[in-house]
Amino acid sequence: MSPVAHLQYGWWFAHWGEFSRKERAVIALAGAGPDLDGISLLGGAEIYHRYHHILFHNLGSVLVVAVLALVSFRKRWTVGLLTTFAFSAHILEDYLTVGWNQYPWRPFSDAVVNLSSQLPNWLVQGVFQTLAMVFVLATTVWIYRRAGRTPLEILSPALDRLVVNYAVLPWKNTCTQCKNRAHFWCDHCRQARCARHVRVAGDLRVHCLEEV
């Protein structure tokens, strides 16, 4: 699966308790962490296929992450555990949804695992991967409806509100000024407005034109 999908899994794990925005971000990003070895693509296709799903997709990397996470969050051990769990789950998810040779036991063993050697590849990368993507999308929507936030919060809560409101508001809201579909929610008056009647400030906060 893509790093974005893995991050969304991490985002789900980050809602298994009450955590701060920073803690949620760490857990979610840990879900995508093993794909840092995808940077090997910068060295060309041969280097990419040599290191992707290998360099950080193994037990050795999990142990390093576990130590760093538990030391960094020693006063919030649940954050450290979920960070390690999210990183580890990425490796398991790849085994279940990607038909590539993987070496999850390195550096302790060079044993190769590949679910496609046991099951048809169309089942692994077709059915299993599709089901995983549907599930992760559903959990992201569920978290938004429950907590009012998406993984965009990691970058900026204001960006999260801006993008999500633009997509969600028009379904049920019209501009209080002209009755066109509303894509924005004024951060001052808390009224739904269309693009003609708001200004988005540099900090991504939305203001009615009459307030500018």
Question: Quick check: helix, strand or coil at residue 181?
Answer: strand
Q: How far apart are CA 212 and CA 200, in angstroms?
A: 10
Label residue 186 left, alpha or beta by phi (over 0 means left) and psi (-120 to 50 means alpha): beta
Residue 212 has pLDDT above 50, yes or no: no
Mean pLDDT of 53-82: 94
Residue 26 has pLDDT above 80, yes or no: yes
- The residue among 93, 87, 40 whose CA lies nearest residue 63 is 87
Mean pLDDT of 59-85: 95
pLDDT at site 211: 54
| Beta-carbon contacts of residue 90 (< 8 Å; ≥ 6 apart) | 6, 9, 10, 31, 32, 33, 34, 35, 57
Write phi, then psi, for 157 (nearest 5 degrees).
-60, -35
pTM of the model: 0.88
pLDDT at site 51: 78
Core vs surface per residue 21-48: b (16+ CB within 10 A) or e: eebbbbbbbbbbbbbebbebeeeeeeeb
Q: How far apart are CA 73 and CA 64, in angstroms?
A: 14
The pLDDT tens digits for 150-163 are: 999 999 999 999 99
Please report how many Cα atoms fall inside a 13 Å half-sphere around the Cα of residue 105, on the Cβ side.
7
pLDDT at site 43: 82
Own/partner pairs, 100-107, CB within 8 angstroms, 24+ separation: 100/53, 102/53, 102/54, 102/57, 103/54, 103/57, 103/58, 104/57, 104/58, 104/59, 105/58, 105/59, 106/54, 106/58, 106/59, 106/60, 107/58, 107/60
88 alpha carbon, distance to own chain's centre:
15
